[in-house]
Amino acid sequence: MSAPVWPALLGRFAWDSLPFVRAWQNPTINELIGAGAAAMVVVGVVFVVLLLTRLDRWRWLWSKWLTSLDHKKIGILYVVIALVMLARALVEANLMRLQQAVAIGNPGFVAPEHFAELFSTHGSIMIFFMAMPFLTGLINYLVPLQIGARDVAFPLLNAIGLWLTGAGAALMMVSLVIGRFSTGGWSGYPPFTEIGFNPGVGPDYWIWAVTLGSIASTLTGINIAVTIYKMRCPGMTLMRMPLFAWTSLCTAILMIFAMPPLTIATALLALDRYLGFHFFTNALGGNMMNYANLFWMFGHPEVYIVVLPAFGIYSEVVSTFSSKELYGYTSLVIATMAIAVLSFTVWLHHFFTMGQSPSINAAFGIATMTIGVPTGVKIYNWIWTMFRGEVRFTTPMWYALAFMMTFVLGGLTGIILAFPPLDYVVHNTLFLVAHFHNMLIPGTLYGMLAAYTFWFPKAFGFRLNERWGRISCACWVLGFYLAFMPLYVLGAAGMARRTQAVMETAYRPWLYVAEIGALVLFFAFAALIVQLWVSIRQRDANRVFPGDPWDGRGLEWSTSAPPPEYNFARRPVVDQPHWFFDAKRKEAPYAPPAEYHDIEMPRNSAVAPIIGIASGAVGFALVWHIWWLAILGMLVVIGTVIARSFVRDTHRIIPARAVERTERGWLEAVAKARPIPREIETSPANQGVALVTR
């Protein structure tokens, strides 16, 4: 690395920190790929800036979205972050698979160091900045609507969580343009991330990006838990909540207790790197296993943090599109709570190979097998819900069916890995990679995409194109089987994971199939973008303003699409789990209130954007040792918090007259819409009112 350019101002930045300079000095394919990725980020940012400027949308973006405390807009922005990061993670996955497919007996086109960066960023993005923002966005959007609330308990805290997540994601993207990322994997194990092994900026990017994301998730968990406990509408007891609200509650509790160990682990690792504390240096009084325990005390509950909301989504989708009440509601609630509790008892199975005693390994192996029981209960409940139901094979339902089949296969391999002797054999092979993806892709990604398709009409007022949705779903499923089933074979044959080059030529056909699968997965994402583009162009023909295109059961379907800022003109009073569904059968689902009242809502605030941008600047400054910027950023964060404490005018009033005007316009649209039977619910005839059947 060349000498720093201006240490007092730019810290340890040097010209060869830029991938463009490295590609100019050493124009290999490896460096050109890095420069191309950086160029895509720069061009993307410039394009967005120019587009917003040309359309004169900066004021609109700031006032309507970036400073909004509306839980629905915050939820949508979370999902936007997740989809952007998913695109990058898919590109990196394709690069890794392509490298392994061509590097059989030769070095390939990606250098070992670069390959290590790819699998580190891919894993970190998919867990921290795709799955977490996606599920957080869905929970943010749906839970207040499902429990009959007007907003979350702490709207400003909600926005701060969004902006801290955005700051962490921004650090991940900046690492493409300035410097390099960590080579220590998504788990950041020392000594690979210690200063002696890796003195570069990569581990620091990982530390501060993950720290910002973990703090944001902790704040979100507190917010969602308090919202569900304290803000349910009259009559909405815990056992009357939709399953998605239940899984969201358990997820929030997991966030509250699982994210702090991760924050502590990254903080201690930062102290090791910046101040030489050596918490995890065995030769100097530390213990690397302390890091492993802290990380996996977060890491295994994290698996269920990202999967439990998907379980709630599948429950809503299967019930709705089977035209039946969810079978075994109480058992599903108990199973959800059991999974949440048991998820804290199995973290040690992630390092069966690291030298624990046989008795400890046996105890955690048994706990690992036990957690499969409540998961199996859910599968049976969904199957019985579909049994003798009027199953409609819409895109969300296809995702649910694909999940059930694929997740069971992944669960069987999980039972295999619960045996410490078998785990010892395959732990560092591609068998484990196949299992991990076998659980998270159908368990999380399919669930998120099912929710995206299912609730998109509620969020934006028009349905997504069904044809392109099915094409995308088919590609996700086909791509998954092609990309990951060969890895079971390769892992059983002994191919190590995180391998940049392959010496065994017998692996060639399986690696080729895996690369084809990765390409199909990328095409699935492209089809998802095409679906959105086509749907936007056809939006006028697919409007569902009345808000109930699927004959839904929850309270979220009892409002317009999209819902007004205040959600409900009059908060519902429920007397059973499916109050809205039953009200439609009694022909009184949209009774207007006797009178309208003023509604108080939180006022927009610039506090969250300022804190998020300043926190991102602090993270960037700490990566590059730009101490003046780190101090300035911290002062801005602290000053903003103090200044906010003096603000008293934090709410605004929506007049009763404005509420009445909005509600009357919606009720008129409901009255004019023609109820449609389920057989044509995916056609333009669907105007947002389903034909009610007894």
Nearest CA among 433, 420, 426, 427 for reference residue 492: 426
Claim to verify: residue 173 and residue 198 sit in the same structural domain: yes
Q: Which has the minimum average pLDDT: 81-85, 479-483, 683-687?
A: 683-687
Claim to verify: residue 158 and residue 110 sit in the same structural domain: yes
Claim to verify: residue 166 and residue 35 sit in the same structural domain: no
Q: Can you give the pLDDT at residue 583? A: 87
Q: Would you give the end-to-end CA distance of the chain in angstroms?
A: 73
| Residue 644 within any structural domain of the chain | no
| Residue 64 within any structural domain of the chain | no
Average pLDDT on 591-617 reads 93
| Residue 361 within any structural domain of the chain | yes
Q: How far apart are CA 490 and CA 565, in angstroms?
A: 52
Claim to verify: residue 485 and residue 495 sit in the same structural domain: yes
Q: Can you give the pLDDT at residue 286? A: 87
Claim to verify: residue 384 and residue 312 sit in the same structural domain: yes
Residue pair 120/204 in contact by the 8 Å Cβ criterion: no
- Compute CA 229 distance to the chain's CA centroid, rounded to the nearest angstrom: 23
Q: How far apart are CA 511 and CA 487, in angstroms?
A: 8
- Encode pLDDT of 494-539 as tens digits: 999 999 999 899 999 999 999 999 999 999 999 999 999 999 999 9
Q: In the block, which residue shows the tokens 């295994």?
A: 300
Confidence of residue 375 (pLDDT cuts 50, 70, 90): confident
- Encode pLDDT of 100-128 as tens digits: 999 998 888 999 999 999 999 999 999 99
Nearest CA among 408, 411, 687 for reference residue 550: 687
Q: Can you give the pLDDT at residue 415? A: 85
Cis amide leading into 261 (omega within 30): no
Claim to verify: residue 448 and residue 528 sit in the same structural domain: yes
| Residue 4 within any structural domain of the chain | no
Q: Work out the mean pLDDT of the chain and round it to a whole number.
A: 93
Residue pair 269/207 in contact by the 8 Å Cβ criterion: yes
For residue 632, pLDDT over 80 is answered with: yes
Average pLDDT on 359-385 reads 88
- Encode pLDDT of 669-687 as tens digits: 999 989 899 889 888 999 9
Q: Can you give the pLDDT at residue 488? A: 95
Q: Can you give the pLDDT at residue 334? A: 95
Number of H helices and E strands in the chain, helices first, is 24, 2
Q: Can you give the pLDDT at residue 281? A: 86
pLDDT above 70 covers a percentage of the chain that reads 100
Q: Which residues pair with 601 in a beta bridge?
A: 652
Nearest CA among 556, 470, 16, 33 for reference residue 244: 556
Residue pair 678/392 in contact by the 8 Å Cβ criterion: yes
| Domain C-terminal end among 543, 563, 583 | 543
DSSP 595: S
- Compute CA 450 distance to the chain's CA centroid, rounded to the nearest angstrom: 13
What the block records as the tokens of 39 is 């160029």
| Domain C-terminal end among 491, 523, 543 | 543
| Residue 377 within any structural domain of the chain | yes
For residue 1, pLDDT over 80 is answered with: no
- Encode pLDDT of 177-218 as tens digits: 999 999 999 999 998 999 988 999 999 999 999 999 999 999
Tell me whether residue 4 is exposed, middle or buried, using C-beta atoms within 10 angstroms of its C-beta: 0 to 12, 13 to 18, 19 or more: middle
Nearest CA among 135, 153, 131, 129 for reference residue 71: 153
Claim to verify: residue 515 and residue 662 sit in the same structural domain: no
Residue pair 557/244 in contact by the 8 Å Cβ criterion: no
Q: Can you give the pLDDT at residue 588? A: 75
Q: Can you give the pLDDT at residue 29? A: 94
| Residue 63 within any structural domain of the chain | no
Ramachandran angles phi, psi of 511, nearest 5°: -70, -35
| Domain C-terminal end among 496, 513, 543 | 543
Claim to verify: residue 517 and residue 455 sit in the same structural domain: yes
Indicate the SS3 state at residue 466: helix
Question: Concatenated DSSP letters for 533-570?
Answer: HHHHHTGGGGB-TTSBTT---SGGGGS-SSPPTTS-SS
CATH of the domain at 381: 1.20.210.10
Claim to verify: residue 251 and residue 165 sit in the same structural domain: yes
- Compute CA 133 distance to the chain's CA centroid, rounded to the nearest angstrom: 4
Q: Can you give the pLDDT at residue 256? A: 96
Q: Can you give the pLDDT at residue 376? A: 86
Average pLDDT on 80-84 reads 97
Residue pair 675/690 in contact by the 8 Å Cβ criterion: yes
Claim to verify: residue 348 and residue 229 sit in the same structural domain: yes
Claim to verify: residue 288 and residue 348 sit in the same structural domain: yes
Q: Can you give the pLDDT at residue 691? A: 85
Tell me whether residue 239 is exposed, middle or buried, using C-beta atoms within 10 angstroms of its C-beta: 0 to 12, 13 to 18, 19 or more: exposed
Q: How far apart are CA 271 and CA 642, in angstroms?
A: 27
Tell me whether residue 138 is exposed, middle or buried, using C-beta atoms within 10 angstroms of its C-beta: 0 to 12, 13 to 18, 19 or more: buried
Nearest CA among 438, 427, 307, 449 for reference residue 378: 307
Residue pair 633/621 in contact by the 8 Å Cβ criterion: yes
- Compute CA 239 distance to the chain's CA centroid, rounded to the nearest angstrom: 27
What length is written for the chain?
694
| Residue 338 within any structural domain of the chain | yes
Handedness of CA 386, 387, 389, 393 (dihedral sign): positive
Confidence of residue 351 (pLDDT cuts 50, 70, 90): confident
User: Element (H or E) spanning 665, and its range?
Assistant: helix 656-672
Q: How far apart are CA 110 and CA 615, in angstroms?
A: 33
- Encode pLDDT of 126-171 as tens digits: 999 999 999 999 999 999 999 999 999 999 999 999 999 999 999 9
Q: In the block, which residue shows the tokens 């009033």?
A: 653
Q: Can you give the pLDDT at residue 447? A: 95
- Encode pLDDT of 552-563 as tens digits: 999 999 999 999
Q: Can you give the pLDDT at residue 694? A: 60
Average pLDDT on 542-547 reads 93
Claim to verify: residue 506 and residue 580 sit in the same structural domain: no
Q: Which amino acid is at 673?
A: A
Q: How far apart are CA 644 and CA 160, in angstroms?
A: 13
Question: Per the structure, how many domains does the chain have?
Answer: 3
Average pLDDT on 565-569 reads 93
For residue 355, pLDDT over 90 is answered with: no
Domain that includes residue 15, residue range: 10-56
Q: How far apart are CA 79 and CA 455, in angstroms?
A: 12
In 231-321, alpha helices (H): 243-275, 288-321
Q: Which residues pair with 38 in a beta bridge?
A: none
Q: How far apart are CA 593 and CA 664, in angstroms?
A: 11
Q: Can you give the pLDDT at residue 458? A: 95
Q: How far apart are CA 625 and CA 384, in angstroms?
A: 58
| Residue 44 within any structural domain of the chain | yes
